[in-house]
Structure 1
Amino acid sequence: MRVLLTGGSGMLGAAILRLAPTAAPDLTLLAPTRRQLDLADRAAVAGWYASNPVDAVIHAAARVGGIQANIDDPTGFLLDNLRINDAVIAGGNEAGVGRLLFLGSSCMYPRDHRQPLVEADMLAAPLEPTNEGYALSKIAGARLCDYISRQFPGRAYRTIVPCNLFGAGDHFGSAASHLLAAIVTKVVEAQADGRDEIEVWGTGAARREFMDVDHLARFILTVLPRLPDLPPLLSVGADRDHSVDDYYRIVADRAGWSGRLVHDPARPEGMAAKLMSSDRARGFGWVPPTTAEFEASIDAALSARRRQVA
């Protein structure tokens, strides 16, 4: 099967490329870089499809960023991702691509809603304002996939909504850092500098669900040949969450740092909680990571960041 992989240089895309030779040796992955193909250029993407026939698409590309980046530029996060999704998803349909797997985000679910969240909760209540632009682009992409699948015979366009990810290739110490990568960065740097305090944005009480990116990548590679069997929307997560403070303590304990956390409640912390149910995904072979696997992934992230600052 020939597959277009978008976002091949991102954390998830890189994991898929790294694991595919052993996890899915029958796949031929085509992963043009941003320099080779601007996904926001609809004409360029259409030209690529015409010159490179594929059987399926794994659409993992997006403009992403942390909470402050989303607050600073909601217009950009909405428009850039709408353009990318139009070119890749609608363009794929126009090119006759039969299968497409779109990667959503847990921020697509409502804020302050029941826990755990299930697929039927999508659009059931208001979104979290701090990343609403990004969330709306993901919701629009998921709806587009569903519409195409229902309207055009032979199309199986599906959306997987993963929980928060971390692992190899994460954006340590940059404006694009997500929570766990930022925590790892802060702990490693505090330890290296001999500091006994770390600033925590918000109250530290917000709860998040994280898993290693490799765990998701393996599932995607396994489920791609069975894409028509999947429902339009499938949440895939760790089935457990922790508070922000808990994540700081877990990382600090694994790193051997014993300082204290200083909270800045004036800083944004996003949704209070967004634990997702993976019950539906279990019916398609999903097995959430164990606690031991999660801790091993934290150790690997700490080692990766230490190598960067050495």
Structure 2
Amino acid sequence: MGSRGTLFLTGGTGMVGRNILAHPAARDWTVLAPGSAELELTDRDAVARFIEAERPDLVIHAAGRVGGIHANMANPVAFLADNAAMGQNVIMGAWRGGVRNLLNLASTCMYPREAPNPLREEMILTAPLEPTNEGYALAKIMATRLCEYIRREDDGAQFKTLIPCNLYGLYDKFDPKHSHLVPAIIHKLHTAKTEGFDMVEIWGDGTARREFMFASDLADAVMRAARDVAALPDLMNVGLGHDHSINDYYATAARVVGWTGAFTHDLSKPVGMKQKLCSTERQEAWGWRAATTLDEGLARTYRHYLEVTGA
């Protein structure tokens, strides 16, 4: 057994989970990270039996059905139902199974569409959500509230929620049908470079702003929180505290990839919220800051893309 005990990590095969597993501090734990073939998280009874049998000291719930605007709009039922079931099963299974420490990973999608930036934790559920990912957001809100309600009823249950900003990095999905913005940009620009395209299209006018953090930085924050869950605020954003326009991400990625063409904009395409920038006041008071710059993170992600795709 690891020196800190047993850690049950959901979503261990996803981008966030794999970055957590790759973090040096993961070696301090005996990590249980079953894939869906071993443990189906939408099966309440299976999850409860697993937790009861393994008696983990800490649960990190990082699993979820994830995707970009395209995937969310095409599959709203699955994004709501699957994520809600996973959140409820893991959180309630942990509580009923006697687990005292749980870290629930949520999403900035939980914030209202028209919320003023920077997004502060107390703004959740104060106004309507962004329609393009409403199902996913509702599921994440449910899980977050469930942790808060458990805390009200059980003082000893350290069930806390981290709200990461948008993420990219190693182990990301690069298939355009399932990818988020940054890996989609990398794939698009690499294709343009290898195919000799001199023009790349950007959805919308490119002025929408997003806060994308390198996933290994989130893993660092999660593993720091794992050392002392009680010291963590009940609800806390994890982000950079600054953002970039979509045009900036394309321009920086083009430099990293080595593509020198021009951009055009399709103003008919959906772009989501105009800005999603997290307040990092609670995070800064907690004493943590992301270390990876955009140029460094994109370069490392592009190298990873070339390795996994054989491009």
Q: Which residue number corresponds to residue 166 of structure 1?
A: 168
Aligned equivalents of 1:97 and 1:279: distance in 2? 29
Q: Which residue number corresponds to residue 8 of structure 2?
A: 4
Alpha-carbon deviations, 1:22-55, whole Å to 9, x = none?
A: 3254322110111000000001111111211111
Correspondence 1:297 to 2:297: yes
Q: Which residue number corresponds to residue 104 of structure 2?
A: 102
Q: Residue 18 of structure 1: CA displacement? A: 1.1
Q: Which residue number corresponds to residue 209 of structure 1?
A: 211
- SS for the counterpart of 1:261 is strand
Q: Residue 206 of structure 1: CA displacement? A: 1.0
Q: Residue 79 of structure 1: CA displacement? A: 0.7
Q: Which residue number corresponds to residue 182 of structure 2?
A: 180
Q: Residue 151 of structure 1: CA displacement? A: 0.5
Runs of 5+ consecutive residues of structure 1 not aligned to the other structure? none
Q: Comparing 164-173 with 110-119, which one deviates more in the overlay?
A: 110-119
Q: Residue 301 of structure 1: CA displacement? A: 1.4
- SS for the counterpart of 1:263 is strand
Aligned equivalents of 2:107 and 2:236: distance in 1? 11
1:17 corresponds to which of 14, 17, 21? 21
Cα contact 2:168–2:214 (8 A) shared by 1 = yes
The count of aligned residue pairs is: 306
Aligned equivalents of 1:24 and 1:49: distance in 2? 19
Aligned equivalents of 2:76 and 2:25: distance in 1? 37
Counterpart residue type for residue 21 of structure 2: L
Aligned equivalents of 2:18 and 2:280: distance in 1? 24
- SS for the counterpart of 1:110 is coil
Counterpart residue type for residue 11 of structure 1: M
Counterpart residue type for residue 22 of structure 2: R
| 1:250-265 alignment, distance < 5 Å | 250-265=252-267
Counterpart residue type for residue 263 of structure 1: H
Aligned equivalents of 1:238 and 1:176: distance in 2? 24
- SS for the counterpart of 2:160 is strand
Alpha-carbon deviations, 1:119-150, whole Å to 9, x = none?
A: 11111221100000000100110000010111
2:234 corresponds to which of 225, 232, 243? 232
Q: CA RMSD in A?
A: 1.2
Aligned equivalents of 1:253 and 1:225: distance in 2? 38
Q: Which residue number corresponds to residue 153 of structure 2?
A: 151
Q: Which residue number corresponds to residue 74 of structure 2?
A: 72
Counterpart residue type for residue 211 of structure 1: M
Aligned equivalents of 1:61 and 1:50: distance in 2? 19
What TM-score results when the alignment is normalised by the length of structure 2?
0.95
Cα contact 1:145–1:158 (8 A) shared by 2 = yes
1:27 corresponds to which of 29, 33, 41? 29
Give 4+ residue runs of structure 1 displaced > 6 Å after superposition. Answer: none
User: Taking every aligned residue pair, what percent have the same amino acid on both sides?
Assistant: 45
Cα contact 2:203–2:267 (8 A) shared by 1 = yes
Q: Which residue number corresponds to residue 131 of structure 1?
A: 133
Cα contact 2:233–2:282 (8 A) shared by 1 = no
What TM-score results when the alignment is normalised by the length of structure 1?
0.96
